[in-house]
Structure formats: C-alpha cells, structure tokens
Chains A and B, each alone.
Chain A
C-alpha cells in the first residue's frame, strides 16, 4: 500500500514538473492562430531579425569552432602552467549574468573602452554594430563549445594518436585524420549548443550592440521590442525559436547517443 502511494506521489511530481515546462510552450501555440503566424512571417521586423540571427549565430559558431578547437585540444592533452586559470576563465561567461557580460564588453571594446578607444582613434568602431552582436554571442557561447570539445578530445584514447605517430603521421596529420574524426560527434554537438546559445542571446547583445532593426536586433531583441506593439509578431518569432530549439535538442540527443556508442566501442 505504501509502495503504491510512493509511486503515485512520484508520478504526480513528474506530471507537475512536465506540466510546468510544457504549459508555457503549449500556450505559445494555443494563443496563436496559424493565419496570424503566417501573416507575421512577412513582417519586416521578423524577416530582419530572422536573417540577422541566423547570420550572426552561424558566423559566431564558425568563430567559436576556429578559436575553441585548438584551446580545447591543448587543454585536453597537455599540462601547462596556468591551465586551471585558463579553464576557469573559459567557464566564466556561463556563470556571469549576461548584463555583466554586456557591460564588460563595452568597457573593453566600447568607444571609451580599453581596446575600443584605440580602434576608435583609427576610425573603427565595434559597439552598436552587427560585429558587436557577434562579439557578444562569441563571448557567451564559446564555453558551451570548448567544454564539450575538451571532453570529446579527452574521450579519444591517446594510444590512437600514438599509433598514428608511429605509423608516420605528424602531430597535425594525426590530429586531422585520427583525433578529429573520432571526436567529431562531440564537436558537432558542442557547436550546436553554441549556436543555440548565440541564437537566444539577449542581455549582452542589447547592452553592447543596442537594438537597431536590421543591424543589431536579433530575434530575442525583436520579441522584446514587438511585444510592446504587435503581439502576433512577437509570438511568431517565439514560435520560430521554439521550433529551432526542438530541432537542436533532437540533433544534440542523437549525436550524444552516437558519441557514447562510439566511446563504449
């Protein structure tokens, strides 16, 4: 009897938790008519935000992969002075409130910032441009990729690289032909997570890049702006983001499953 009661209580907790998460998402669909969504798709604010978000998030992901892969590999394979500090620094943007990230970027690259003032003297400005959107996205999303990439590289046993070396491969050849393909599922999974984080970035972007339609107004910023006027447009943008989120979760789950299967083998 007590066992049945316990099972019922656990089932109730699970149902309540699921309802708490599912209800707001379901409401987005329930409070929205397909006609209104389709109409809103043609709204310039939606088109601009979608184009800007996809462009900047894609560029951000590429930058994060190019910058993060060597860092992740070195941290996975080598010990060096200050490695702990580098690790902590990489993780910092995950914990840091986005608004703090935004103001930190302004202090560094803003017109009066430490680096920004010199760039400004050369006639080059970063803050409140599309480049600032990418800077903000790289800052907040890079830890998601680097952490995942490091774990993936660590999962590739060193004996595979050693075998490649004894067979005549240089370090670089061994990396590109052995380590990288073996870590690939994890790297793709990390890149998808970084892309997702870039797509949802709000706080650092609004502080460092501003909120200018077509230039710095990404989808989350467009939702914030349009919901004060046309709720249909905001809901349309929200639905697009939810759809992308579902797709990302499905992709990451699939890749993670394949990654662990490879590791087990």
Chain B
C-alpha cells in the first residue's frame, strides 16, 4: 500500500493531499495544467521535497517530515515514465534499458539476459542498437516503459505517457499499457489529460484542482462527472483537462 499525505507551498497555491493506493491498483490522476499532478509524482519519486507530511510504502517511510526521513530518489525503487520519456539521446535503446541495471552493479551477462527479455517482450530487440532519439514515438514510449520496469520497481509513476502519440497509436498503446501495468502488482499512478486513458486503463481516478483532490472515486464516477462537465463547458469529452 502506497500512502501519501503531503503539503507543499507552490507559487500560486498550496498543494495538500492525502491518497492511498493498494498494490496492483492503477490510480489515474487528472486535472488542469499546473494543478500539481507532476509535482505530486516528483514528490513520490523524491525529486521534489514536500514541506511536510509523509510518503510511505507498505509501512516503510520514503519521506517523513516528523522523523526527518527523506530517502534519495535512487534508493526508492521507483519506475518513472516521464512525459517527454527522457530517454538518454547519447545511448542506444539497449543502453537506455540497461542503465538502471548498470547502477546496480549487475554483471554484463545478467544485464544482457534481463535487457533481452524486456526488449523482446516489448518488440524492441530488433532496434536495440538504434539511438534513442532516432526511433518513433511509440517505440520511445515502449523503451521508456521497459526502462522503468526492468528495475522491478515498488511503485510505478507515468506522466502523460501517451500524450505525444497520434490518436491511432494511443489506442494501441492503451491496451498494451493496461496489460503491462496489470502484470506488475505494484501501486501505479498515471497522470493524464485524456478521459479515454482513464476509462481504459485506470481502476480508480482522482481529479485534482489547485493542489487538492476535488473528486476521488471509481473511474465510472469521475467519468460521469466529466461528461456532465463537458456538456456544461461544451468541450471535447475525450480530452477535458487541458
């Protein structure tokens, strides 16, 4: 169980929220740009320090201001797919996926076996030697996910992983992503603007507004709220939260 109860003063508002996510559960985080979604992911990853509160996984604190614990990002075992994927452009697809294993001082043989497994599973083995910046958007997304999963993370964070793909690719990747996340029994949080992602990937959804949770519940509840909202606002029901 991932437990988050944090406060942080941001430039325009205070981020203040409390969430619990069970193992194997996929929480979809939706909300306007700048409402604090990515900040929350970065706090969980240890890249931004909350002002106060706690972040714990299965009773183990990752951050706790009351006892001054702040585990460094490299020791949190978090798989993070960044919005722009952040694939290292000077490395090949193989080296990108192997990066997290090299930091753990695994032998080359072990690294090769694991990387081969993950790349083959994602259909990327054929392009293992290609530079990360030379591959297509869909391939980048798969590499980023393989790179995050190969370290066997305890938590998965995905920041709009489908936003830079075209519509047709998005539909295909949604299915893939859902299956992948399902197969890893860890708490997952995915930030998205697209309610199609919420509907087809998530178990539960949270709507964030100015650093607070405005609505939390089953995917269907948030979807139904969003449909009403879209009718009132006259927006495209597919991507409401931009």
Beta-carbon contacts under 8 Å, B105-137 to A: 133
Could you say which of A160, A168, A181 contacts B103, with CB atoms under 8 Å apart?
A168
B84 adjacent to A167 (CB under 8 Å): no
Residue of A nearest to B134 (CB): A265
B74 adjacent to A159 (CB under 8 Å): no
CB-defined contacts of A27 to chain B, threshold 8 Å: none
B103 adjacent to A182 (CB under 8 Å): no
Rounded to whole Å, the gap between the CB of B74 and the closest CB of chain A is: 5
- A166 in contact (CB, < 8 A): yes
- B202 in contact (CB, < 8 A): no
- B174 in contact (CB, < 8 A): no
Q: Complex: how many Å from CA A180 to CA B103?
A: 16
CB-defined contacts of B11 to chain A, threshold 8 Å: none
Residue of B nearest to A184 (CB): B90
- B193 in contact (CB, < 8 A): no
Interface size on B (CB < 8 Å)?
27
Beta-carbon contacts under 8 Å, A125-181 to B: 157, 159-160, 162-170, 173, 177-178, 181
A163 adjacent to B74 (CB under 8 Å): no
CB-defined contacts of A173 to chain B, threshold 8 Å: 103
What 0/1 readout, one digit per residue, does chain B (91-104) give for beta carbons within 8 Å of chain A?
Answer: 00000000110011
- B34 in contact (CB, < 8 A): no
Q: Complex: how many Å from CA A164 to CA B72?
A: 12
A168 adjacent to B86 (CB under 8 Å): no
Q: Is the interface of A mostly helix, strand, loop or mixed?
A: helix
- A55 in contact (CB, < 8 A): no
B82 adjacent to A162 (CB under 8 Å): yes
B151 adjacent to A168 (CB under 8 Å): yes
CB-defined contacts of B86 to chain A, threshold 8 Å: 157, 159-160, 162-163
Interface size on A (CB < 8 Å)?
19
Rounded to whole Å, the gap between the CB of B102 and the closest CB of chain A is: 8
A166 adjacent to B103 (CB under 8 Å): no
CB-defined contacts of A160 to chain B, threshold 8 Å: 86, 88
B99 adjacent to A167 (CB under 8 Å): yes
Rounded to whole Å, the gap between the CB of A31 and the closest CB of chain B is: 47
Known A166-B45, A168-B151, A170-B103; further 18 A-B contacts with Cβ < 8 A: A159-B82, A163-B80, A163-B82, A164-B99, A165-B45, A166-B73, A166-B74, A166-B76, A166-B148, A167-B100, A167-B148, A167-B151, A169-B74, A169-B99, A169-B103, A173-B103, A182-B89, A182-B90
| Subset of 27 A-B contacts with CB under 8 Å | A157-B86, A159-B83, A159-B84, A160-B86, A160-B88, A162-B42, A162-B82, A163-B80, A163-B88, A164-B103, A165-B45, A165-B47, A165-B73, A166-B74, A166-B76, A166-B78, A166-B79, A166-B148, A167-B99, A167-B103, A168-B100, A168-B103, A169-B99, A170-B72, A170-B103, A173-B103, A177-B99
Residues of B bordering A, CB below 8 Å: 42, 45-47, 72-76, 78-80, 82-84, 86, 88-90, 99-100, 103-104, 133, 147-148, 151
Residues of A bordering B, CB below 8 Å: 157, 159-160, 162-170, 173, 177-178, 181-182, 262, 265
